[in-house]
Structure 1
Amino acid sequence: MNIPPDNRTRVLVTVNPFESHVRGLVTLVTTLGELGHDVRIAVPDGWSGRLRDYGVTTVEIGPMWVAPRFATAVFGALLDGGATGFDRTLIAEFTSPRFVGPVVDGVLRLSEHWRPHVVVHECTEFGGYLAAEVLGIPHVVVDIGSMAAIAQGLHEELIRPALTALRSRLGLAPEPLTPGILRHLTVTMTPERFNHADFEPPLARYRHEFPVRHDERLPDVFARLPEDRPVIYLSMGSIGPLSSRFMQRSTEIYEEIFTALAALECSVIAALPSRYEPLFRSLPPHVHTMPWVPQSLVLDHVDLFITHGGLNSIRDTITSGVPQVLLPFFADHPGNALRCEQLGTGIRVDPTTVTAAEVHSACERVLANPSYRRETEGLRRHMRALPPQTAFAGDLERLVEEHSAGVGVS
Structure 2
Amino acid sequence: MSRILFTTQPASGHLRPLVPIAHAALLRGHTVAVSAPACMAAELAEYRLPHLVGGYDWRYDVYRMLPDGYADLDFAAAADTFRSLGEPLTRAFAGHIARRTAADILGHGWRPDLIVRELDEFGGYLAAEALDVPHAAVISFGGLREVTGPALGPVLDEGRRELGLPSDPQGERLHRFLTAGFLPPELGASELLLPNTRCYRHINAERAADRLPSWLAGLDLSRPLVFAAFGTVVYGLPGSARFVDEAIAALGDVDCTAVLALGAGADMSGHGSPPNVHLVDFVDQALMLEGCDLFVTHGGLNSMKEALRLGVPMVTVPVLDDHRHNAALFAAAGLSRTVPLATATRETMAGAVRQALDAPGRRTAARRMQRHLHALPALDRLIDDLEALITP
TM-score with structure 2 setting the length: 0.91
Identify the match of residue 227 of structure 1 among 221, 243, 251: 221
Do structure 1's residue 238 and structure 2's residue 218 form an aligned pair? no
Give the partner amino acid of 1:92: R
Give the partner amino acid of 1:253: F
> Quick one: percent identity of the two aligned structures?
29
Q: Bigger shift: 12-21 or 252-261?
A: 252-261
Equivalent residue of 1:121, what SS?
strand
Give the partner amino acid of 2:60: P
> How far is the alpha carbon of 1:193 from its aligned partner?
1.1
Do structure 1's residue 45 and structure 2's residue 38 form an aligned pair? yes
8 Å CA contact 1:141, 1:185 repeated in 2: yes
8 Å CA contact 1:83, 1:331 repeated in 2: no
Which residue number in structure 2 is paired with residue 17 of structure 1? 10
> How far is the alpha carbon of 1:225 from its aligned partner?
1.2
Equivalent residue runs for 1:173-188 within 5 Å: 173-178=166-171, 180-188=173-181
Which residue number in structure 1 is paired with residue 87 of structure 2? 88
* Pair 1:27–1:377, CA change in 2 (3 A): same
* Pair 1:89–1:49, CA change in 2 (3 A): same
> How far is the alpha carbon of 1:78 from its aligned partner?
7.3
Do structure 1's residue 202 and structure 2's residue 219 form an aligned pair? no
Which residue number in structure 2 is paired with residue 408 of structure 1? none
8 Å CA contact 2:249, 2:274 repeated in 1: no
| Cα distance between partner residues in 2 of 1:276 and 1:73 | 27
Give the partner amino acid of 1:259: A
> How far is the alpha carbon of 1:278 from its aligned partner?
3.0
Equivalent residue runs for 1:30-109 within 5 Å: 30-45=23-38, 47-61=40-54, 65-71=57-63, 73=65, 79=78, 81=80, 85-97=84-96, 99-109=97-107
Equivalent residue of 1:352, what SS?
helix
* Pair 1:334–1:82, CA change in 2 (3 A): farther
Give the partner amino acid of 1:11: I
Which residue number in structure 2 is paired with residue 360 of structure 1? 350
* Pair 1:380–1:43, CA change in 2 (3 A): same
Identify the match of residue 118 of structure 1 among 114, 119, 133: 114
| Cα distance between partner residues in 2 of 1:252 and 1:275 | 14
Moved over 6 A (4+): none
* Pair 1:236–1:191, CA change in 2 (3 A): same
8 Å CA contact 2:5, 2:114 repeated in 1: yes
> How far is the alpha carbon of 1:65 from its aligned partner?
2.5
| Cα distance between partner residues in 1 of 2:99 and 2:275 | 50
Which residue number in structure 2 is paired with residue 405 of structure 1? none
8 Å CA contact 1:48, 1:59 repeated in 2: no
Give the partner amino acid of 1:278: S
> How far is the alpha carbon of 1:330 from its aligned partner?
1.4
Equivalent residue of 2:231, what SS?
coil
Give the RMSD, CA atoms, in angstroms.
2.2
| Cα distance between partner residues in 1 of 2:77 and 2:154 | 23
The one-character-per-residue Cα deviations of 1:80-132 (angstroms, maximum 9, x if unpaired) are: 855752321321332231x223211111012x3x2100110011001010011
> How far is the alpha carbon of 1:206 from its aligned partner?
1.1
Which residue number in structure 2 is paired with residue 370 of structure 1? 360
Which residue number in structure 1 is paired with residue 391 of structure 2? 401
Equivalent residue runs for 1:233-312 within 5 Å: 233-241=227-235, 243=236, 246-248=237-239, 250-273=240-263, 274-280=265-271, 282-312=272-302
> How far is the alpha carbon of 1:28 from its aligned partner?
0.7
Q: Bigger shift: 167-176 or 132-141?
A: 167-176
| Cα distance between partner residues in 1 of 2:222 and 2:305 | 28
> How far is the alpha carbon of 1:156 from its aligned partner?
4.0
Which residue number in structure 2 is paired with residue 150 of structure 1? 146
Identify the match of residue 192 of structure 1 among 185, 189, 194: 185
Gaps of at least 5 residues in structure 1 are 1-7, 403-410
Identify the match of residue 342 of structure 1 among 332, 337, 361: 332
The one-character-per-residue Cα deviations of 1:278-330 (angstroms, maximum 9, x if unpaired) are: 321x2112211111111111101111100011110111010011110001111
| Cα distance between partner residues in 2 of 1:254 and 1:72 | 26
| Cα distance between partner residues in 2 of 1:401 and 1:124 | 26
Identify the match of residue 213 of structure 1 among 207, 226, 245: 207
Give the partner amino acid of 1:61: G
* Pair 1:74–1:129, CA change in 2 (3 A): farther
> How far is the alpha carbon of 1:247 from its aligned partner?
2.9
Give the partner amino acid of 2:140: I
The one-character-per-residue Cα deviations of 1:13-52 (angstroms, maximum 9, x if unpaired) are: 1100111211122111111111111111012236322221
